[in-house]
Amino acid sequence: MTESIVKPGLEGVFAGETSICAVRPEEGKLIYRGYDLHLLAEAVSFEEVAYLLLYHKLPNQSELESFDQQLKSYRDLPPALLETLRSLPSHGPAMDTLRAATTILALYDPDLEDDSPEANLRKSMRLLARLTTLVTAQHRISQGIEVISPNPKLNHAANFLYMLRGNSPEELEVRVLDITFILYAEHEFNASTFTARVVASTLSDLYGAVTGALAALKGPLHGGANEKAMEVLLEIGDPDHAEAWVLNALKEKRRIMGFGHRIYKKVDSRVELAKKWGKKLAEKEKNTRWHEICTIVEDVIRREKNLFPNVDFYTAPLYYLMGIPIKLYTPLFACSRVVGWSAHVIEQKQKNRLFRPNSLYIGPEGLDYLPLAKRNPP
């Protein structure tokens, strides 16, 4: 018998090839189809990044306008699906509702059974366009207030805020949310993306793969870190209390969400941008309290434990300043990451091989069978 090497969590295992994204932790870089994320986030819109991930290149002006118009044309939900949302329990977790609604949404897609690359691109765009509508509609229904229809004059980020709050967002808010969408759009073979690729490898449809990704994202070891991070900031409450709170939490061996990452051992390359734009928004809103707490917590944890924050720690206060309910932070993540999931599903299907790893059996062998009547009673 040849020796088997088990890698728990598949850590360090190359499970496939991709041309979509590269994480370079040693260099402090994240690359989307050859472009440094930092350059993209400062220079382009989320729609341009979405086009890049799906079509392998940045769009020219006419391509971007056409792509943008297509996305906007897909935003509305089928009326019957809205009625289904109204019939669901209003107290249910937002991620569960989003997962269920995504599965139902598949039934309304005319391309559902078409697995061609062209059809999958159309399905990807419909999902990208409609997830924000699903998230905001479900939230407003749960609050007993009227659902707001998409605004075709607004971009992806601005339209989300408009549908959520019912008023036109400020320019800086839109830019900051747009940048967080770019930061969250893609991140290589993370748990939800790998789940999507495993489902796609069975030749299931794109909606099934995305539903699987949403289920993986709900798990607190993968998604939800920005929600928990904001709860920490609210518990601290004041910059003057931050250092003592952290020291006490470390003494009690409490886990502080928003720190540490399987890939990034030193620095999450996305933090710099989230911190920079978060400070701008905090100063614009004349409310720097949360940014100050974040900075102190980061400094103390780095000093005491040599741990660094991940991007979720600094996006949490951004969303809070925009008035986005904490329970929507993970669904909002999905509204961006769905384009990355879709790109991976399409790539998986282009050169597919079913994922079917081996396992190392460690249970007993050679047990004697006893008839039911002779087995010892419990």
- In three-state secondary structure terms, 238 is coil
29/268 Cα distance (integer angstroms): 9
**Which tokens in the block code for residue 157?**
């980020």
Residue 221, amino acid: L
pLDDT score of 2 more than 60: no
Q: Exposed, middle or buried, 275 (CB in 10 Å: 0-12/13-18/19+)? A: buried
By three-state DSSP, how is residue 137 classified? Answer: helix
pLDDT at 261 over 70: no
Residue 329 contacts residue 180 (beta carbons within 8 Å): no
Domain 225-321 has CATH 3.40.50.450: no
pLDDT, one tens digit per residue, over 9-66 is 787 788 889 999 999 877 778 999 999 999 999 999 999 999 999 999 999 999 999 9
Instruction: Delimit the domains of the chain by residue range.
Output: 225-321
Residue-wise pLDDT tens digits, 206-242: 999 999 999 999 998 888 888 999 999 999 999 999 9
On whether the pTM is more than 0.85, the answer is: yes
pLDDT of residue 1: 41
Active site residues: 261, 312
Rounded distance, CA 54 to CA 344, Å? 9
Query: Which residue is associated with the tokens 């100050």?
Result: 292
pLDDT tens by residue, 147-157? 999 999 999 99
* Angle subtended at Cα 196 by Cα 192 and Cα 197, rounded to the nearest 5 degrees: 120
